[in-house]
């Protein structure tokens, strides 16, 4: 195994936002494109002696990009990378692993709710040691670096077996392949009243969860069907596919039309939900009822204290300016802070809750998402 230093030159347009860098997949697969951006990440945050988390939503090019990132991490001196089996991790699960293992951050491969496939979208983003996405000061530094880059480092090596859980060596760097679901499912079990939820399903409560052939299928199956006892088949479109089965993994009434039709039909289950490509956006419905993101935030804020992880209540809630004032009214009734930040970029329905510290939920601000079809923010950082 040898470290190669590859001459390159800046590629225009590699400007990431808080949701990372998103482009069409063929662009990412082009000469030096992924490598330039990843090297710029390592040049800004540093890699020598550090530990990172790596995973993605399983879209087309996810597996190949993971191998490139691993070889570049090794070439740049990283000590260890924790990878989800198959290079799969939802964004909330990646955020949890970053904090759980106290790593130096993580690289997440996703274009969120955008379609996947050979001619569709791909993305790469960096999450900080707190589990949240890189702030603007860091993403701006990464962008600046992409305009100056002249070389990148990559290890000449065979692919790492990412299908086998266990420890591997890559040029002296440890690669730990982990179950992408187990730690996150355990976290959920510590935050929510699983015995009560299990009893509810046992009493005949029916649910439909549409994972839209994206990353949340394995998580939903393990948590809802295996741990909570929901009927087999509760989770549909539960296998992550490179092209999301031709679906557009944006959980809204237009793209989740199969779920909408079932929930508005005569034999609708009691509760329905759908999630996006990387698992940090969702939509919820009752039988014959669509719940808007703003209202779902308000309902969660009003009832958060019923979950063990939020038993101390919330410190505050936040929503973006164009959304309804339902959360404001809940905050007033609870006597907690609320704010209406101006929307940034394409985040037009940002909703957030912050748990009162100390609280188990404070350690898991990102993974426990509000039921929101757009971005969600927990605590001091946006974790989308």
CA distances from 305 to 32, 132, 188 (A): 49, 24, 15
**Domain of residue 230, CATH code:** 3.40.120.10
Whether residue 204 is found in the same domain as residue 234: yes
Out of 60-64, 99-103, 323-327, least confident range: 323-327
Residue 344 scores a pLDDT above 80: no
Among residues 260, 291, 322, which one ends one of the domains? 291
Based on the fold, state whether residues 254 and 312 are members of the same structural domain: no
Asked whether residue 15 falls in the same domain as residue 46, the answer is yes
Are residue 172 and residue 226 in the same domain, yes or no? no
Q: Is 338:331 a contact under the CB 8 Å cutoff?
A: yes
Q: Tell me: pLDDT of 311 over 50.
A: yes
Q: What is the pLDDT of residue 68?
A: 98
Span 19-33, pLDDT tens digits = 899 999 999 999 999
Q: What are the residue ranges of helices labelled H in 76-223?
A: 91-100, 136-146, 182-191, 194-202, 216-220
Q: Is 112 a catalytic residue?
A: yes
Same domain, 111 and 228: no
> What string of DSSP letters covers 229-281?
-PPTTSEES-S--TTGGG-----STTTTHHHHHHHTSTT--SEEEEE-SSSS-
Q: Are residues 13 and 146 in the same domain?
A: yes
Same domain, 245 and 307: no
Q: What is the pLDDT of residues 46-83, one digit of tens each?
A: 999 999 999 999 999 999 999 999 999 999 999 999 99
**Average pLDDT score over residue span 347-360:** 44
What is the reported pLDDT for 372? Answer: 33
Q: How confident is the model at residue 178 (pLDDT cuts 50, 70, 90)?
A: very high
Q: Considering 144, 179, 214, which residue would you say is the last residue of a domain? A: 179
Instruction: Specify whether 56 is located in the same domain as 130.
Output: yes
41 lies in the same domain as 133: yes
On average, the pLDDT of the chain sits at 88
Kindly state whether residues 251 and 339 are assigned to the same domain: no
Q: Is 267 within 8 Å of 255 (Cβ atoms)?
A: no
Token readout for 41 is 């990440």
* Catalytic position from the list 40, 110, 112, 320: 112
Number of domains in the chain: 3
Domain boundary among the residues 291, 311, 336 is at 291
Backbone phi and psi for residue 227, each to the nearest 5 degrees, phi listed first = -95, -35
Within 10 A of 5 (CB to CB), how many other CB atoms are there? 11
- Tell me which residue range forms the domain holding 125: 2-179
Q: How far apart are CA 319 and CA 322, in angstroms?
A: 8
CATH number of the domain encompassing residue 307: 3.40.120
Statement to judge: residues 22 and 127 lie in one domain = yes
Q: Pairing relation of β-strands 351-355 and 337-339?
A: unpaired
Are 93 and 238 in a shared domain?
A: no
Question: Would you say residue 244 has pLDDT above 70?
Answer: yes
Q: Which of 95-109, 184-198, 257-271, 351-365 has the lowest mean pLDDT?
A: 351-365
Q: Residue 103 to residues 82, 97, 245, 254, 296: CA-CA distances in angstroms?
A: 9, 8, 33, 38, 32
Tokens (6 digits) for 80:
């260890």
């Amino acid at each position: 195994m040898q470290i190669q230093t590859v001459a390159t030159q800046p590629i225009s347009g590699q400007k990431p936002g808080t949701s990372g860098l998103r482009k069409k997949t063929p662009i990412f697969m082009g000469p030096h494109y992924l490598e330039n951006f990843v090297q710029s990440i390592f040049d800004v945050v540093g890699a020598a002696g550090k530990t990172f988390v790596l995973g993605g939503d399983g879209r087309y090019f996810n597996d190949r990009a993971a191998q490139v990132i691993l070889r570049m991490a090794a070439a740049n001196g990283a000590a260890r990378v924790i990878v989800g089996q198959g290079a799969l991790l939802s964004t909330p699960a990646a955020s949890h692993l970053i904090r759980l293992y106290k790593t130096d951050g993580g690289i997440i491969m996703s274009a969120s709710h955008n379609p996947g496939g050979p001619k569709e979208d791909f993305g790469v983003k960096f999450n900080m040691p707190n589990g949240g996405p890189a702030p603007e000061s860091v993403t701006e530094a990464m962008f600046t670096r992409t305009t100056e880059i002249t070389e990148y480092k990559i290890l000449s090596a065979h692919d790492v077996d990412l299908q086998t859980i266990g420890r591997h060596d890559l040029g002296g760097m440890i690669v730990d392949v982990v179950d992408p679901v187990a730690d996150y499912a355990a976290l959920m079990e510590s935050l929510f009243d699983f015995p009560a939820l299990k009893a509810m399903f046992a009493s005949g409560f029916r649910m439909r969860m549409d994972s839209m052939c994206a990353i949340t299928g394995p998580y939903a199956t393990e948590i809802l069907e295996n741990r909570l006892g929901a009927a087999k088949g509760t989770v549909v479109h539960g296998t992550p596919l490179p092209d999301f089965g031709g679906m557009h993994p944006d959980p809204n009434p237009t793209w989740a039309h199969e779920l909408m039709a079932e929930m508005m039909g005569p034999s609708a289950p009691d509760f329905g939900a759908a999630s996006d490509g990387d698992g940090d956006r969702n939509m919820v419905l009752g039988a014959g009822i669509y719940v808007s993101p703003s209202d779902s935030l308000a309902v969660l804020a009003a009832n958060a204290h019923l979950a063990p992880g939020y038993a101390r209540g919330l410190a505050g809630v936040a929503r973006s300016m164009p959304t309804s004032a339902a959360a404001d009214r809940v905050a007033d009734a609870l006597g907690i802070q609320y704010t209406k930040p101006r929307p940034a970029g394409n985040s037009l329905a940002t909703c957030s809750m912050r748990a009162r510290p100390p609280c188990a939920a404070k350690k898991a601000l990102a993974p426990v998402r509000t039921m929101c079809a757009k971005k969600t923010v927990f605590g001091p950082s946006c974790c989308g």
